[in-house]
Amino acid sequence: MRKGLFALAAVGLVATGSMAACGDSSGDSASSSSSAGTSAGKVGVILPDTKSSARWATADVKYLTDAFKAAGVEVDIQNAQGDKTQFQTIADGMISSGVKVLVIANLDSGTGAAVLTKAKQAGIATIDYDRLTLNGGADYYVSFDNVKVGELQGQGLVDCITAKGYTKPVIAELNGSPTDNNATLFKQGYDSILQPKFDSGEYVKGPDNAVPDWDNAQGGTIFEQQLTSNKDIKGVLAANDGLGNAAIAVLKKNKLNGQVPVTGQDATVQGLQNILAGDQCMTVYKAIKKEADAAAELAIALAKGQTPTTATGTVTDTESKKDVKSVLLTPEAITKANVKTVVDDGFVTKDELCTTDYAKACTEAGIS
Ligand code: BGC
């Protein structure tokens, strides 16, 4: 089974440049003396896993494939399936196959940095996708404003708790992977909202645990322990929809779902359905299409030997203290009141979301 998965991952996805082929034969290139600048080398993309969030198996691969295809640039997109050795093996393969640009969403900064170093030694341009590789020195970074993601989660939880009218609620935190720099940034964001409330005594700080590798099953086990030791938990800051769903499953077993607001992130079908059912307070929608398009745009410029102009910001690598040129996009909070925007944006379809159990709630939410 596992072997089968690896085999699948190793095949990857190759969107070959049919448009480039067209361009080559159209005579356009012959008519332009600057045509050399438009021929692009191949791009390699490595995604982390398919289990820590549905996004990696569905959204990212789809939108990246589309973006490179539209530009007629050859891309090889593979997924490391949560395996750090596999991540490095894929990278080695891409480097020896002669990619001009390597785009990675790391599994941790250590392996990510090792891969980036090898790529740079081979003269390959590098882009950190979604997750910054600490001490990695990538040429570019494309992501969302991840502190802002956390702030939206913190504020969303506060709003739901206020709506419930709870006083001195005990808040549990189910954080993302300690090896993911994003998890650190999300926590920085939500703690900036929650900590002042703990300090003032308005809220009570409950258990606060990280979930290794964002593993949803472990998240459930950890939340079960949190709830056993703190029966009075009245709010759960779960760092993404997968962890939120794990907490909701435990709350359901205890007949507490719907009474204890739970946050999330990624606007997954499951997260949105949990919101429609009243079991999840909010999620954060990150328009992955924009992120994939931004990464592809950078990669395509680099693959053509051009200097990209779109990375107008910088983020500081907290370990190396160096600035990395970056594109940071804006996340959006989603509650029952605006689930519709995610459908309108084409990120999830009505058919996926509004299955029998959710049809009524969908209609109430204006999704028709
Ligand atoms: C991503 C989230 C995702 C999480 C788990 C983070 O780095 O930004 O969108 O839910 O990883 O895969």
Ligand 1 atom nearest to CA at 144: 8
Which tens digits make up the pLDDT trace of 103-123?
999 999 999 999 999 999 999
String of DSSP letters for 34-56: TGGGG----EEEEE--SSS-GGG
CA–CA distance, 343 with 354 (Å, rounded to integer) = 10
CA–CA distance, 74 with 95 (Å, rounded to integer) = 15
Whole-angstrom CA distances from 69 to 104, 144, 269, 344 are 19, 23, 26, 24
Ligand 1 lined by 55 (C-beta under 6 Å): yes
Domains along the chain with CATH numbers: 17-144+286-329 (3.40.50.2300), 146-285+333-364 (3.40.50.2300)
Residue 360: its pLDDT value, please?
Answer: 97
Ligand 1 lined by 187 (C-beta under 6 Å): no
What is the distance in A from the centroid of ligand 1 to the CA of 210?
14
State percent of the chain over pLDDT 90. 89
Ligand 1 lined by 145 (C-beta under 6 Å): no
Say which residues have a Cβ less than 8 Å from residue 361's Cβ, sequence separation at least 6: 276, 277, 336
3-class secondary-structure state, position 315: strand
Other residues' Cβ atoms within 10 Å of the Cβ of residue 29: 16
3-class secondary-structure state, position 97: coil
For residue 37, the one-letter residue type is G
Ligand 1 lined by 79 (C-beta under 6 Å): no
Which of 265, 268, 242, 269 has its CA nearest to residue 351? 269
For residue 43, the one-letter residue type is V
Which tens digits make up the pLDDT trace of 19-77?
333 333 333 333 333 334 468 899 999 999 999 999 999 999 999 999 999 999 999 99
State percent of the chain over pLDDT 70. 90
CA–CA distance, 279 with 214 (Å, rounded to integer) = 21
Ligand 1 atom nearest to CA at 265: 10
Ligand 1 lined by 109 (C-beta under 6 Å): no
Ligand 1 atom nearest to CA at 105: 7
Ligand 1 atom nearest to CA at 131: 7
CA–CA distance, 133 with 151 (Å, rounded to integer) = 22
Residue 38: its pLDDT value, please?
Answer: 63
Q: Determine contact, residues 286/331, Cβ cutoff 8 Å.
A: yes
Nearest CA to ligand 1 atom 9: 266
What is the distance in A from the centroid of ligand 1 to the CA of 53?
6
Q: To test ligand 1's pocket by mutation, which of 214, 241, 289, 291 has the most ligand atoms within 8 angstroms of CB?
A: 214
Q: Tell me the pTM.
A: 0.90
Question: In the predicted model, is pLDDT for residue 322 greater than 80?
Answer: yes
What is the distance in A from the centroid of ligand 1 to the CA of 353?
21
